[in-house]
Each structure stands twice: as C-alpha cells, then as structure tokens.
Amino acid sequence: MAIRKVVKIGDELLRKKSKPVKNFDEDLWQLLDDMRETMYKNDGMGLAAIQVGVLRRCVVMDVNNMFLEFINPVIIDSEGEDISEEGCLSVGKFNGRVARPMRVTVSAYDRYGYPFTITGEKLLARCICHELDHLDGILFVDKSLDKDKYFKSGR
Ligand code: NI
C-alpha cells in the first residue's frame, strides 16, 4: 500500500468525469488499498479515485466505523432532505452547509465485481452523495449554501 497525493481544488482534473471500472483486477485492488490508506492518513471520511488522480468510478469511505468501497456506484433512490456541513480533502479547511437527501439507496460493485445495494441515512447518505459527485467532477463548494463565503474568502 502507498499513500498517494491528494489533488486540490483549482486543478482542472477534479472537474473531469470519471470512467467506469472495467477490470476488477489487481490494479484496481492496489488503487483501492492506496485510497483507503490515503483517506485514513488524511483523516478523511471518504475519497474518490479522481482525488488521487485516477479517473475511474470508485470511491472509499468510512462512516460510523464502517469501511465501504463502491465501484461504479449509481444512486437508484433518494428521499427527503438533510442540511448539514461537509468538507473535502481536496478543498482544505473550509466547511460549508450542503442540502443532501436524508436517505439514498446506491447500487454498486465490490472489488471482486459482485453487485450489491446499500441504503444509507444522514451522514452515510451525505458521504455517498459527496463522493459520487466527485465522479462527475462536482465539488461540494459548488452546491454549498455557504459557497459565497468560500469564493469571496479567496480560499
Ligand atoms: Ni470530497
């Protein structure tokens, strides 16, 4: 395993759309292991592959002491609304409020290519939405209710 460098806001790479994972092979496992280590090293709650410079649709997260990996995740259902603060390893110190669904159901694959579905509420739902946004080049500051504060602060 190795700790990889986290790509920071301002780098256009973060705005790209990630491509589906096709091969569930050792390269993917290495990537996921490195993402996990990089996330923990930086005290993050989640990390998308694009944040370590790899444009593939996979994310890792650790919410409520539960480690999760999602490959090619898709949100298939969402419900309600929850407004709370979030942050991002690619953004730095700024935390801002974002409206997210209260509950989401996501379909994805595990690292071996087996499909699974999971429903998350509140913090887990928030984390899933945040990480999946990364796969489409979206950062939480784009949608934050506090984005004026962020963009005016000069970062
Ligand atoms: Ni993030």
Residue 15 amino acid letter: R
- Asked if the structure places residue 40 within a domain, the reply is yes
DSSP 16: S
pLDDT tens digits, residue range 46-96? Answer: 999 999 999 999 999 999 999 999 999 999 999 999 999 999 999 988 999
Structure confidence at residue 90 (pLDDT): 98
Distance (Å) from CA 50 to ligand 1 centroid: 10
Distance (Å) from CA 110 to ligand 1 centroid: 21
Beta-carbon contacts of 124 under 8 Å, excluding residues fewer than 6 positions away, are: 63, 64, 66
Find the catalytic residue in 12, 79, 85, 131. Answer: 131
pLDDT tens digits, residue range 103-121? Answer: 999 999 999 999 999 999 9
Distance (Å) from CA 22 to ligand 1 centroid: 23
- Asked if the structure places residue 17 within a domain, the reply is yes
- Asked if the structure places residue 116 within a domain, the reply is yes
Strand partners, 107: 74, 117
The pTM of the whole model exceeds 0.75: yes
Phi and psi at residue 37, to the nearest 5°: -65, -40
- Asked if the structure places residue 7 within a domain, the reply is no
Is residue 131 part of the annotated active site? The answer reads yes
- Asked if the structure places residue 5 within a domain, the reply is no
Instruction: Output the domain CATH number for residue 101.
Output: 3.90.45.10
Distance (Å) from CA 26 to ligand 1 centroid: 25
Residue 143 to residue 32: CA distance in whole angstroms: 27
User: How many domains does the chain divide into?
Assistant: 1
